[in-house]
Structures are given as structure tokens and as C-alpha cells.
């Protein structure tokens, strides 16, 4: 397509776990890139990253890095987004921000393309990417929300360490080897690097992701509550979450109980999920088939299975939702928003 429009794309946080996946996906998806600008902190400036066979030099992200940029994909932490996103907008870029910096800003749409792409189209320069654990849940629930309505959700998560960055991956792998070798594992990253207490993640389950809020829920849990309402554009959808880190490298799993507003037919639910965009139904108990983190790793889709009616609540439905937290949960959802914006313009 010689006369296809192409775009200048900046990736901010290009050397991070999510940034690396963004670059990989831009390449894999043949995103119409005219020029790729890789930005990071001064610490990473000068490194090179391969893109479409060429070495691209990483530059330090500054307020003036965004001249001529069409799409600026941010994933360098909330502080960097707060500092630089408005400069990118000032230079005419559309910012798609993977941090929590603007997610609850009423001026900024919070977008999962399968759910509320209409909100993205009304953006004022910045579009926020939701939290990984929220994205996969709302993508899977969208067809049920549309057909039956949702009263409430109770979710318990089984989250991979990659959600806490490259240092958490390193910590899990090092600790695992230490435990296997009979050595005392060192704990310095999880549950939250900047907090004083750290716990072993290897061969353990840590019921804390992000800091605690006043109501006893963690910030990660409240993200699931608040972001779900915002994405559905419906304050009446109640979400109570328990977010748990487990010794998995890639792929968040979620045990989701949802109370629908109307009675449902289980076979219809399966049919709705089977044809839903971005969703893969893996639900064959007879052959022991259900979504698994190991099988979701590297895939763009959200996998759903273990569908079954609650034993006592007629409108209650249980499901198991798995997706690669760095892809649909972060890098892919970000690039996907950009792809959909381009499609909508075309």
C-alpha cells in the first residue's frame, strides 16, 4: 500500500518491559510508522533498539521531544506522564498513556477498544489505558453487559510479577532458584518496591498489589472498582476485588463472579463470548481445557472459560479470565487504540 498514510510514533519508556512490547507489536502489526522515536530517561539514552531491521537510538525524553509526533505512547511511570504528556499534546500528538496518571481524570477517556472506542474518538489529546487487571475483565464482560446488564462483580486475581516490572521478574526467578537450592531468598521488590516491607513471591501468594487505601482495599483493587465504572460509563456497576500476586511471570488470571441484571442462558453466554471481538472461549471441561497463563503468554486475546451458573443465585455466573498482562493488559491495548483511531479517521 504505497499511498497508505503513515505516522510518526513516539514510545516513551522505550526500554521498559511494556515499552519493549509496544515496539514489538508496532512491528508485528505492521503499524503504519513513518518514523519511530524512542524516548526514555537520560539513564537509558544512547541505547539502541531494533525496529524493522534497523537500530533506533533511544533519546532522552524532554518537553521538546514531541515535535512532529502523531502518536505518543507513554509507559514510563505516572510521574513522567504527568510531566510530559501535555507537552506532547501541545506539539499536536495524540497521547495514549499506559500509566495511572490520567485514568480517573474526567477530561481523559479511559479506553478498551472492545468496550468504549466511542469515548476514545472524543478525546482532547490524551487517552488513558486502563490497569491490566481491569482491561481483560471488562473486555470479557462487555458482551454480557450489553445483553443482560451487570449488577455486581466479585473478582479474585492471580497476577503475574511482570505487572510490577522487570525487577520483579528478576526477583521471582532469582528467589525461585534460591529456594530450589535451599538458600534463603532475598526480598526487596514485591509487593511494592518503594514500601518498607517486602515478602517472598517464589512459591507464595501475596494478597497485596500497590498500596493500601483507607477502606482496607488496595489501590490495585480500587482501580478495578473505579475503572470498570468509568469504562462502562455506568456508576451502578459494583466491583469488589481481591488482588493477589502469585509466582507467575506473564499472564494474569482472574476468578470472576458476576451478577447479571437479567436471567441468562449459559449456552447463549458462550455463544456471545465466542463471537465477541478479542475474546477466545476456551471452555471444555470434558477435555480439561480452560484458559491458562502459560498458554495466553505472547497472545493478544483475552481467554475465557470455566463458565458455570452460581449454585444459588439464579443470575450469578462464574468465569475464569486470562490474558497476557503486558499485551492486552498494556502494550497491545495501547497500540490497538492508536490503530482504531487511524481506522476511524480513514
What is the contact surface with a second copy in residues (CB under 8 A)?
A: 152, 154, 156, 158, 173, 176-177, 180, 191, 195-197, 199-200, 203-208, 212, 215-217, 225, 238-240, 242, 244, 246-249, 253, 255, 257, 285-294, 305-313, 316, 318, 320
R_g (Cα) of the chain, nearest Å:
20
Residue 208 assigned as binding residue: no
Q: What is the DSSP letter of 287?
A: G
Whether 43 has a binding-site annotation, put simply, is yes
Q: Is 187 a catalytic residue?
A: no
Our CB check for a second copy shows the closer of 37 and 230 to be: 230
Give the number of other CB atoms < 10 A from CB of residue 253.
Answer: 24
Residue with cell 449454585: 311
Query: Is the CA virtual torsion 170, 176, 181, 182 positive or negative?
Result: positive
Closer CB to a second copy, residue 6 or residue 255?
255
What's the min distance (Å) between Cβ of 240 and a second copy? 5
Residue pair 207/242 in contact (Cβ under 8 Å)? The answer is: yes
Least distance (Å) from a second copy to the CB of residue 127? 27
Q: Is 24 annotated as a binding residue?
A: no
Output the nine-digit C-alpha cell for 209: 498489589
Q: Is 152 known as a binding-site position?
A: no
Greatest distance between any 2 Cα atoms in the chain = 61
- In total, the chain counts a number of residues equal to 346
- In angstroms, what is the minimal distance from the CB of 157 to a second copy? 9
Kindly tell me which of 79 and 195 has the beta carbon lying closer to a second copy: 195
Span between the terminal Cα atoms of the chain, in Å: 14
The sign of the CA dihedral 225, 229, 234, 235 is positive
What one-character DSSP code corresponds to residue 184?
P
6 is in an annotated binding site: no
Q: Tell me whether residue 53 or residue 196 sits nearer to a second copy (CB atom).
A: 196
Q: Which DSSP category does 262 fall into? A: S
Q: Name the active-site residue from 87, 123, 243, 252.
A: 252
Residue 132 is among the residues annotated as catalytic for this protein = yes
CB atoms within 10 A of CB 198: 16
Check 132, 187, 198, 199 and give the catalytic one: 132
Q: Closest distance between a second copy and the C-beta of residue 311, in Å?
A: 5
Q: Binding-site residues for substrate, please?
A: 159, 245
Q: Binding-site residues, please?
A: 15-18, 43-44, 103, 159, 162-163, 245, 325
Instruction: Give the catalytic positions in this structure.
Output: 132, 252
Q: Binding-site residues for phosphate, please?
A: 103
Amino acid at each position: 500500500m504505497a499511498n497508505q498514510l503513515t505516522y510518526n510514533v513516539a514510545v516513551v519508556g522505550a526500554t521498559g518491559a511494556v515499552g519493549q512490547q509496544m515496539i514489538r507489536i508496532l512491528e508485528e502489526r505492521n503499524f503504519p510508522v513513518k518514523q519511530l522515536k524512542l524516548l526514555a530517561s537520560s539513564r537509558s539514552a544512547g541505547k539502541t533498539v531494533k525496529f524493522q531491521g534497523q537500530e533506533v537510538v533511544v533519546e532522552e525524553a524532554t518537553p521538546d521531544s514531541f515535535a512532529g509526533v502523531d502518536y505518543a505512547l507513554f509507559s514510563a511511570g505516572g510521574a513522567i506522564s504527568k510531566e510530559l504528556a501535555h507537552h506532547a499534546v501541545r506539539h499536536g500528538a495524540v497521547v495514549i498513556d499506559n500509566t495511572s496518571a490520567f485514568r480517573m481524570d474526567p477530561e481523559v477517556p479511559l479506553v478498551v477498544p472492545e468496550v468504549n472506542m466511542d469515548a476514545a474518538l472524543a478525546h482532547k489529546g490524551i487517552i488513558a489505558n486502563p490497569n491490566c487487571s481491569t482491561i481483560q475483565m471488562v473486555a470479557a464482560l462487555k458482551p454480557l453487559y450489553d445483553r443482560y446488564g451487570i449488577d455486581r462483580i466479585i473478582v479474585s486475581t492471580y497476577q503475574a510479577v511482570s505487572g510490577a516490572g522487570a525487577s520483579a521478574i528478576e526477583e521471582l526467578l532469582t528467589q525461585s532458584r534460591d529456594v530450589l537450592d535451599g538458600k534463603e531468598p532475598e526480598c526487596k521488590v514485591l509487593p511494592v518496591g518503594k514500601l518498607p516491607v517486602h515478602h517472598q513471591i517464589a512459591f507464595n501468594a501475596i494478597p497485596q498489589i500497590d498500596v493500601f487505601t483507607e477502606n482496607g482495599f488496595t489501590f490495585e483493587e480500587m482501580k478495578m472498582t473505579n475503572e470498570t465504572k468509568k469504562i462502562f460509563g455506568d456508576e451502578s456497576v459494583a466491583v469488589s476485588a481481591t488482588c493477589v500476586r502469585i509466582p507467575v511471570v506473564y499472564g494474569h488470571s482472574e476468578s470472576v463472579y458476576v451478577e447479571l441484571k437479567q436471567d441468562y442462558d449459559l449456552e447463549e453466554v458462550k455463544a456471545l463470548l465466542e463471537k465477541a471481538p478479542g475474546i477466545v472461549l476456551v471452555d471444555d471441561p470434558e477435555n480439561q481445557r480452560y484458559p491458562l497463563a502459560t498458554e495466553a503468554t505472547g497472545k493478544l486475546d483475552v481467554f475465557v472459560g470455566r463458565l458455570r451458573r452460581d449454585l444459588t443465585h439464579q443470575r450469578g455466573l462464574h468465569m475464569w479470565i486470562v490474558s497476557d498482562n503486558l499485551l492486552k493488559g498494556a502494550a497491545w491495548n495501547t497500540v490497538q487504540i492508536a490503530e482504531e483511531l487511524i481506522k476511524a479517521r480513514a
